[in-house]
């Protein structure tokens, strides 16, 4: 399934248009909300602005994906192998992968933190983790949990593993697909401390996709991985 993927050039250009439209929407929505939103304190206002911008971007990417599939006359199941494995198999793979990836990721984060500390380089946690740990309101953890455990796993896996990886591989750039898309995945989170751990996570997700031939395994693995991190962040709230 992965080796036979061939998106048409016109459909890729159309998809990229929606991605850039989503990025532009993030900027516009952010500027408007920052100008007119009066919620206090400032950290809460920034959270609302960031969360709304994320929804705008994901909505644009989803529209682009729908148009991409229609242009290539593919269903979601055909494009991403959603029926290639039974759910019990998907869950077993995902649970095992999450159980391995979480401690490895934690170790990489620890090493990265030590290196940055030795180099005297500031490397704070991701912004949403800081907001979660410092929040005393119920609605912020609920929204962060919804983003982390539902929206992010589905949309990020569709974009990075479902589209970009097989697209580059099918275009004749297998090495760029293997190494470039995980690096882009890590960079997309905008956090220096988590760059290497998330790049490794992206590599592992590609291996899972190749091994199981269904995007459901990376999606559920991503969900479980984020769930563990979410519960850990809640446990250490200040």
Q: Concatenate the DSSP letters of all residues of 42-81 into one string.
A: HHHHHHHHHHHHHHHHHHHHHHHHHHHHHHTT--HHHHHT
Averaged over 208-216, what is the pLDDT?
Answer: 95
Question: What tens digit of pLDDT does each residue of 149-202 get?
Answer: 899 999 999 999 998 898 888 888 889 999 999 999 999 888 888 899 999 999
Asked if omega into 18 is within 30° of 0 (cis), the reply is no
Q: HSE of 195 in the Cβ direction (CA atoms, 13 Å)?
A: 13
Averaged over 106-114, what is the pLDDT?
Answer: 90
Whether residue 4 lies inside any domain: the answer is no
In whole angstroms, give the CA distance from residue 200 to residue 197.
5
pLDDT band at 131 (very low <50, low <70, confident <90, very high): low
Residue 199 burial (10 A CB sphere; 0-12, 13-18, 19+): buried
How high is the pLDDT of residue 169?
A: 86
Whether residue 3 lies inside any domain: the answer is no
By residue range, what is the domain housing residue 205?
9-235
How high is the pLDDT of residue 1?
A: 47
Q: What is the mean pLDDT of the chain?
A: 86
Do 200 and 132 contact (CB within 8 A), yes or no?
Answer: no
Judged against a pLDDT cut of 60, whether residue 238 lies above it is answered with no
Using alpha carbons, list the distances in angstroms from residue 168 to 16, 26, 198, 211: 14, 26, 20, 18
How high is the pLDDT of residue 133?
A: 60
pLDDT exceeding 70 applies to what percent of the chain?
A: 90
Averaged over 115-126, what is the pLDDT?
Answer: 75
pLDDT band at 49 (very low <50, low <70, confident <90, very high): confident
Judged against a pLDDT cut of 60, whether residue 119 lies above it is answered with yes
How high is the pLDDT of residue 225?
A: 95
In whole angstroms, give the CA distance from residue 118 to residue 150.
36
pLDDT band at 10 (very low <50, low <70, confident <90, very high): confident
Stronger pLDDT, 234 or 230, i.e. the higher one: 230
How high is the pLDDT of residue 140?
A: 77
Stronger pLDDT, 7 or 210, i.e. the higher one: 210
Whether residue 196 lies inside any domain: the answer is yes
What single string gives the DSSP state of each residue in 205-219? HHHHHHHHS-THHHH
Residue 163 burial (10 A CB sphere; 0-12, 13-18, 19+): buried
Whether residue 230 lies inside any domain: the answer is yes
The number of domains in the chain is: 1
Judged against a pLDDT cut of 80, whether residue 111 lies above it is answered with yes
Question: What tens digit of pLDDT does each residue of 75-91 get?
Answer: 999 889 999 999 999 99
How high is the pLDDT of residue 125?
A: 62
Judged against a pLDDT cut of 80, whether residue 138 lies above it is answered with no
């Amino acid at each position: 399934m992965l080796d036979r993927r061939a998106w048409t050039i016109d459909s890729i250009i159309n998809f990229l248009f929606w991605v850039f439209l989503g990025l532009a929407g993030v900027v516009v929505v952010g500027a408007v909300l920052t100008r007119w939103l009066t919620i206090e304190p400032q950290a809460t206002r920034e959270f609302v602005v960031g969360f709304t911008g994320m929804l705008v971007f994901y909505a644009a990417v989803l529209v682009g994906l729908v148009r991409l599939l229609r242009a290539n006359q593919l269903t979601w199941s055909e494009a991403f192998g959603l029926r290639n494995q039974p759910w019990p198999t998907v869950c077993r793979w995902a649970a095992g992968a999450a159980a391995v990836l979480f401690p490895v990721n934690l170790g990489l984060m620890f090493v990265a933190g030590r290196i940055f500390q030795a180099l005297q380089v500031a490397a704070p946690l991701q912004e949403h983790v800081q907001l979660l740990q410092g929040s005393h309101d119920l609605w912020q953890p609920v929204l962060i949990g919804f983003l982390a455990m539902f929206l992010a796993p589905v949309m990020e896996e569709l974009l990075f593993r479902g589209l970009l990886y097989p697209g580059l591989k099918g275009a004749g750039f297998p090495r760029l697909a293997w190494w470039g898309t995980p690096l882009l995945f890590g960079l997309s989170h905008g956090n220096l401390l988590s760059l290497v751990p998330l790049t490794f996570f992206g590599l592992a997700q590609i291996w899972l996709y190749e091994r199981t031939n269904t995007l459901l395994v990376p999606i559920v693995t991503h969900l479980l991985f984020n769930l563990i991190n979410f519960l850990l962040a809640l446990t250490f709230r200040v």
